[in-house]
Amino acid sequence: MTYVVKIPLTVTESDRHRLDKRFEMARKLYNRVLGELFRRERCRKNTRLWSDIKNNAASGNKQLNNDLYKELKLRRLAMDGFSLQTEFTSGLSKTWVGYHLDSQCIQTITRHAADSFKEYLDKKRGRPKFKRHGTYNLIRSQRWKNPLTLNKNLDGVVWLGLELPLDISRLSDTRKEGAVRALEEAKKEGQLRYIGIHRSGRFFEAILTMKGDAEKRVDAEKRVIVGLDLGVRDVAVVSEDEQVKLKFCEELKNIEKNIIKYQKALSRSDRLNNPDCLDEKGAWIKGKRVTHTSNALRLKNKIAVLKRKQSQQRKHLHNYMINRIIEKASKIVTEDVSSKEWQEEFGKSINYFAPGMFLAELKNRCQQYEIELVLLNTYDYPMTQLCHCGHRQKKTLRQRVHECPECGCVMDRDIHSAAMCWAVGHDNKLVLDFEKISSKINSLFEKSISVSA
The secondary element (H helix, E strand) that includes residue 227 is strand 224-230
Cβ count near 355 (within 10 Å): 21
Better-scored residue on pLDDT, 216 or 417: 417
Confidence of residue 67 (pLDDT cuts 50, 70, 90): low
Q: CB–CB of 209/173 below 8 Å?
A: no
Mean pLDDT of the region 349-376: 89
The closest alpha carbon to 143, from 114, 102, 173, 202, belongs to 102
Residue 450 has pLDDT above 60, yes or no: no
Residue 50 has pLDDT above 90, yes or no: no
Question: Tell me: the pLDDT tens digits for 106-145?
Answer: 888 988 898 898 888 888 888 899 998 888 999 988 655 6
All residues at 6 or more sequence positions from 22 whose CB lies less than 8 Å from its CB, including other chains:
100, 101, 139
Share of the chain above pLDDT 70, in %: 87
Q: CB–CB of 434/389 below 8 Å?
A: yes
Question: Tell me: the pLDDT tens digits for 375-395?
Answer: 999 888 888 889 988 889 888
- Sorted by where each begins, the domain ranges of the chain are 13-136, 141-211, 224-447
Q: CB–CB of 344/354 below 8 Å?
A: no
Mean pLDDT of the region 252-264: 93
Q: CB–CB of 228/425 below 8 Å?
A: no
Q: CB–CB of 206/311 below 8 Å?
A: no
Mean pLDDT of the region 199-207: 90
Q: CB–CB of 116/128 below 8 Å?
A: yes
